[in-house]
Structure 1
């Protein structure tokens, strides 16, 4: 898969450019993230122009132009190692028309790509998608630390009003044979991101695929769905119904 290869029309306005020293790594992360967020344009920029290990100015520029092929499109750029950052910065400095529609973020390459893709699929704008990728870096600390990240304001729909209306809460049993693993977690996070209401699943941000996966909720687990703000009851009912229905995984 090359940076300039034809791609299906994306439904999300925010695209992702993944810059790696290895073409295989960039393409593999794109493939994985696409499984979680099929409506997002993901463009790999891996390796050098001659097919070697490293990063290349032209490959990064081509990838950015491919991602920004629509007038209203924007792009979040993730990199794997420090020298890749330097290559991206050189392109953005030399190409201001690309720089004004792009955001280079500091985030873990794989986790950041997955989190950003799911948030973009849910309709997040450039700022929201960028912060979602950056937030992924805080998700997996030392094992057993017991910390749970708070619900970030940027990860829920822009139409929410957390202080309005009343809260709602219900519990639901996870029916999926393998629990809330990557794919159903992504479906759930995309759904929550589009609700415009602050929703938590067992206390974590319901719009974050990584936080949902970190719960480790297996088949038969009971999880609590809680929402606040206008439309909270309807949002909780919708999320509970989706979980009971298996999130496309039954």
Structure 2
């Protein structure tokens, strides 16, 4: 089983279209749209969201994505009535980019919490984990590096590698989603050419075309796996020509 996803939007066309797009990259993931009102108008429907949550129940958990403010309130209200033992989590993420990243992570077998992190990483959430060199002394101000006011030199990564893009289209949405989705499920801090490797939008800002080299650095327990994961995707051209 995999994590399932519910998409709540004020528009049924937006919800359906976002799911259609994400399904191109994650065909095995159940994604249930819940857009518009029950009578086809713009708005949100408690009944539609509750029905979507019921349809999505039975997997390893459900991640819910929403568009505008009242959709969040409707989703939260419906989640209070959700039944079943698997967790149902609301992601604070853009509905299109977040859905694609979440779906790719779910396709790769990520946990429900990792799927939510993948969605939220598309706009910088959650904040980076605290660095070991930054800490707050009890009862005192923050201390940086070996001495207060002296930032420590950046630690060397636990693993790194350089990989040349071979697919014709380079770093577009599909490769970025595959990299971000897979890395979000690993216990590692990863950068690709200096941007967060778990951020789909960050990777797309690289505008890396065919022949560009991706410099990957990773730190943490899964550092070696993270670098190997990116290497495998790049060498296979992300499954593209």
Contact 2:123 2:201 in 1 (8 A): no
CA offset digits 1:121-166 (Å, max 9, x no partner)? 2333222222332332338xxxxxxxxx98669xxxxxxxxxxxx8
Match of 1:127 in 2: 113
CA distance in 1, matches of 2:45, 2:226: 46
Pairing partner for 1:224 from 215, 226, 229: 215
Contact 1:180 1:218 in 2 (8 A): yes
TM-score w.r.t. the length of structure 2 is 0.75
Match of 1:54 in 2: 43
CA distance in 2, matches of 1:150, 1:81: 22
CA distance in 1, matches of 2:77, 2:221: 45
Superposition CA RMSD, Å = 3.0
CA distance in 2, matches of 1:213, 1:198: 18
Contact 1:119 1:207 in 2 (8 A): no
**Correspondences of 1:1-250 after superposition (within 5 Å):** 11-12=1-2, 14-68=3-57, 70=58, 72-93=59-80, 95-97=81-83, 101-138=87-124, 167-193=158-184, 198-229=189-220, 232-233=223-224, 236-237=227-228, 239-250=230-241
Residues 152 and 196 of structure 1: CA distance in aligned 2, closer, same or farther (over 3 Å) = same
TM-score w.r.t. the length of structure 1 is 0.73
CA distance in 1, matches of 2:192, 2:14: 32
Q: How many residues align?
A: 216
CA offset digits 1:44-75 (Å, max 9, x no partner)? 0011112222111211111000111x2x5311
Contact 1:16 1:67 in 2 (8 A): yes
Which has more radius of gyration?
Answer: 2
1:230 Cα offset (Å): 5.5
